[in-house]
Amino acid sequence: MNVDKEWLEKGYIDEKPETAADLSEEIRRMCREKDAVIMAHYYTRKEIQDVADFIGDSLALAQKAAQTGARIIVMCGVHFMAETCKILCPDKLVLCPDLNAGCSLADSCKAEDLKKYKDEHPGYTVVSYVNTTAAVKALTDVVVTSGNAKKIVDTFPQDEKIIFGPDYNLGSYINSVTGRQMLLWNGGCHVHERFSVDAIVKLRKENPDAKVLAHPECKGPVLAVADIIGSTAVLLKYASEHPEGRYIVATEAGILHEMQRKCPGTEFIAVPPEVSEGSAGCSCNECEYMKMNTLNKVYNCLKYGWPSVDVPEEVAREAVKSINRMLENS
């Protein structure tokens, strides 16, 4: 198809929908007509989660992409997630509503930098977090998520020489629970690194019966005051199995929508980010990239079949090996 120059410059389509019908209903109608499935991460807007066929964390979304029989996948998350879908489903049309939806972790580890680091450390196994580009995955031995990182690292001999990247905080946490000394890439999630320990301490004093749920992408001091540490899926599962509790939540605020849906009578308290000097604080910590997914953009990408994501064949051929190794060990 010929893509409008303005769309290419913007990285998304912002045409006004030519319908008076409810946008969510129109999106569902087009999904039926076009044999499309919408997958959404827990950190997207609540209206995106509500219109999706499937919501989950990075691991669950990758597993679902590998299994779906739909002709079109609309990945409402960030760009590396759409790349993973395309690698696993090369014959499907993979749509990403906004190509600007990036990831600070993926940006922190360029393929050329990782290749240089590998060359400087021969004999090391490369374990990469799923929050990486396809080109980085192609240089990786096995991909992991926050939900299965420990399990996969545990499959290696204790004396295995490992490079873990790009999330320093997650790698440091895995080192602490496995007794390893993996070499850690110095990358971080701009959302999880902003959580305020002081705010957690204050919230615990105000809510002494509440448990702190924290994502392992958080810094060590935050994890040190947490009761439960795990991926978004792990935190959600724990809350769902213990709905009688009250929870202070240290991960991206989008997960609160699914938590409240599954546990309508439970109180969830979002941990605010640290406030830099001279700036105004806010009550929650959000990923602006995830929030780039809107109903209007989803509608337009389904209508026009763009923005689509492709991965060069030579990159996909190598990257799929490390991704499949993750899926086989999950």
pLDDT tens-digit profile of 30-40? 999 999 999 99
pLDDT at 20 over 70: no
Contacts of range 62-65, beta carbons closer than 8 Å, 24 or more positions apart: 62/88, 62/130, 62/145, 62/323, 62/326, 62/327, 63/327, 63/330, 64/39, 65/39, 65/89
pLDDT tens-digit profile of 182-196? 999 999 999 999 998
pLDDT at 277 over 50: no
Report the pLDDT value the prediction gives residue 280, as an integer from 0 to 100.
Answer: 42
228 pairs with which residues across the strands?
213
CB atoms within 10 A of CB 88: 23
DSSP assignment of 244-256: TSEEEEES-TTHH
Sign of CA dihedral 296, 38, 75, 271: positive
pLDDT tens-digit profile of 116-154? 999 999 999 999 999 999 999 999 999 999 999 999 999
Would you place residue 283 in the very low, low, confident or very high pLDDT band (cuts 50, 70, 90)?
low
Question: What is the CB-side half-sphere exposure of residue 162 using CA atoms within 13 A?
Answer: 30
Element (H, E) at 37: strand 36-41
Please tell me the CATH superfamily of domain 5-100+290-313, with its number: NadA-like (3.40.50.10800)
In this structure, the dihedral spanned by the alpha carbons of residues 272, 276, 279 and 280, taken in order and rounded to 10 degrees, is 10
317: Cβ–Cβ under 8 A, 6 or more apart, which residues?
Answer: 138
Mean pLDDT, rounded, for 49-53: 98
Contact 53, 37 (CB under 8 A): yes
Thinking of the domain 105-190, which architecture would CATH place it in? 3-Layer(aba) Sandwich (3.40)
Three-class secondary structure of residue 326 per DSSP: helix
Q: Is domain 192-270 given the CATH code 3.20.20.220 in the classification?
A: no
pLDDT tens-digit profile of 55-88? 999 889 999 999 999 999 999 999 999 999 999 9
Report the pLDDT value the prediction gives residue 285, as an integer from 0 to 100.
Answer: 86
- Where does CATH 3.40.50.10800 sit in the chain? 5-100+290-313, 105-190, 192-270
In the numeric block, the tokens 């999630």 are attached to 189
Would you place residue 273 in the very low, low, confident or very high pLDDT band (cuts 50, 70, 90)?
confident
